[in-house]
Amino acid sequence: MKYKKLAAAKQNYLLAMGLAQQLKSASALAHVEGCLGKLALLEGNYKLALAYWEIALENVKQTQNKRQIAICLHEIVVLAMLNEALILPKHEEYVKESSRLATEIGTFDLQADAALLLGQIAVAKGDLKAAYFYHEQYRQFAAALIKQNKDQAITAIQENFTAKNLAQEHLVAAHQDGEELNRANTQLWNALLLCITAFLGILLLTYHQSYRQQAKLARKLEHNNKELAAKNIDLEKFANITSHDLKEPLRNIGAFADLLNRRYHEKLDQDGKDYLGFILSSARHMNQLLNDLLAYTKLANPPLIKPSPIQLKPLINEVVQQFELTLASRKINLEVDTHLPQVMGYPHLLRELFRQLLDNAIKFSRPTAATISIGYRVTTSTHLFWIEDNGIGMQPVYQTQIFDIFQRLDKQNYQGTGVGLAMCKKIVEYHGGKIWVKSAEDNGSQFFFTLPHSSKGPGK
């Protein structure tokens, strides 16, 4: 359930990223990329989390929001530590810049975080004096922030360490004989012991801070999971309402444009006819996009019903019947494997999966001598299916992008909304399978997907 909700959150944030890119909003992009970085951290993918935060930093710099820039710098250094990829000159400057920005805007929480990181970096460099200095800064900022005393024992050890160091320096300067040298040696051993104690104290403080941060992240994850469940419900309601509100004016635009075309077609010059054609085409495309987005949004929540046994042969025959006229008019030869299995799943989702993949194969098929085949093979743990065509194919660079929402390869020559293959990916993942494509440019495509031999429900 945890990973399913993380996956749903990731899809929603990727959808939000697409909208932010369309709006060209640097602040929105930075916010979404930061959220994706947090999700990657929760999944344990530190490298991906670091990459998202670095992209977020580039975007947030355009907004000149000092607090957000400071937060991005801080998160990048923390993730670099988790990745064991700390670059001291570079990342130390990141933390200092974060501290400077936090000082300018007067935020004690970010100043405390920066001081704590600088202390950890100083420990990594072996500079205990600097570590002590930054720890003192952290203690002061934390005290100002939460208005309470910090650990008095650690403070006493640090003060005792400073006092004995000063005493040692005075003794070395004032006494030169053997007795004083012995006393100096004793002081030296004491100082060494205190250094070890201080070092262990800093390590303990770092561990304690890390433990608190992990506990805070766990609580935040639980809270976010509850929020995500509520937001997914709100998103579906919003999509339904928005779809209804947008479809009504679209229907009016299409109806009146069609009426103008029928009544005044002969009175219009060629430009007028072209303009009306553009209006009708755009209205139809927008209506299809709304339908696809609504269907995609509904996939954010798993079906409430349990999966049932499905005979795929009659299901695929139903899908093929929807395309009979298109297949006949374009003279496309369709071959369907006769040995199709029974699977566990959701009939309406699998019907939509085969419909989208067959529609995609028809759309990009050759103008002549086109062939499409639906194949099947059983493996040790899965049912393997494929839809193969001898159409235009695609370059390898696009083969991982096409399953992302709004991704279209040839927008000029082929109609579409860029939602269909993203829906296919969600449907296959609900059934516990995987989907991928193999293709070569001008040499057709093979879309593969797997379904488990038995399914206990989405995401299982």
Amino acid 247: pLDDT? 59
Q: What is the mean pLDDT of the chain?
A: 78
Residue 174 pLDDT more than 60?
no
Percent of the chain, pLDDT > 70?
Answer: 77
Count the alpha carbons within 13 Å of 349 in the hemisphere toward its beta carbon.
Answer: 28
Selection from 59, 78, 50 nearest residue 20 by Cα: 59
Per domain, the residue ranges of the chain are 2-230, 237-298, 308-452
Amino acid 1: pLDDT? 56
Cβ 18 vs Cβ 406: under 8 Å: yes
Residue 304 pLDDT more than 80?
no
Please indicate whether residue 460 or residue 121 has the higher confidence score (pLDDT). Answer: 121
Percent of the chain, pLDDT > 90?
Answer: 19
> pLDDT category, 115, cuts 50, 70, 90?
confident
Count the alpha carbons within 13 Å of 347 in the hemisphere toward its beta carbon.
Answer: 12
pLDDT tens sequence across 3-46: 667 778 777 878 877 787 788 787 887 787 778 878 877 877 87
Please indicate whether residue 448 or residue 70 has the higher confidence score (pLDDT). Answer: 448
Residues 6+ apart with CB under 8 A from 455: 307, 343, 344, 345, 431, 432
Amino acid 244: pLDDT? 55
Is 308-452 assigned to CATH 3.30.565.10?
yes
Dist. CA 460–CA 431, nearest whole Å: 8
Q: Which of 23-37, 151-165, 194-208, 398-412 has the lowest mean pLDDT?
A: 151-165
Residue 236 pLDDT more than 80?
no
Dist. CA 39–CA 115, nearest whole Å: 26
Q: Does 308-452 match 2-230 at the fold level?
A: no
Please indicate whether residue 445 or residue 268 has the higher confidence score (pLDDT). Answer: 445
Average pLDDT over residues 157-164: 54
Residue 283 pLDDT more than 60?
yes
Q: Which of 80-84, 301-305, 329-333 has the highest mean pLDDT?
A: 329-333
Q: Which of 259-273, 279-293, 299-313, 380-394 has the highest mean pLDDT?
A: 380-394
Q: Which of 303-312, 409-418, 432-441 has the lowest mean pLDDT?
A: 409-418
Average pLDDT over residues 350-365: 92
Selection from 107, 22, 15 nearest residue 67 by Cα: 107
For residue 292, count other CB atoms closer than 10 A to its CB. Answer: 19
Residue 281 pLDDT more than 70?
no
Average pLDDT over residues 427-455: 89
Q: What is the DSSP letter of 446?
A: E
Amino acid 433: pLDDT? 94
Residue 377's SS3 state is strand
Residue 300 pLDDT more than 90?
no
Residue 460 pLDDT more than 50?
no
247-257 CB burial, b ≥16 within 10 A, e <16: eeeeeebbeeb
Amino acid 149: pLDDT? 42
Residue 323 pLDDT more than 90?
yes
Residue 243 pLDDT more than 80?
no
> pLDDT category, 77, cuts 50, 70, 90?
confident
Amino acid 73: pLDDT? 82
Q: Which of 145-159, 301-315, 330-344 has the highest mean pLDDT?
A: 330-344
Amino acid 148: pLDDT? 39
Amino acid 285: pLDDT? 59
Q: Which of 119-128, 273-282, 325-334, 400-409 has the highest mean pLDDT?
A: 325-334
Residues 6+ apart with CB under 8 A from 235: 12, 297, 300
> pLDDT category, 414, cuts 50, 70, 90?
low
Residue 457 pLDDT more than 50?
no
| CATH superfamily for domain 2-230 | Tetratricopeptide repeat domain (1.25.40.10)
Average pLDDT over residues 88-116: 82
Residue with tokens 């040790």: 380
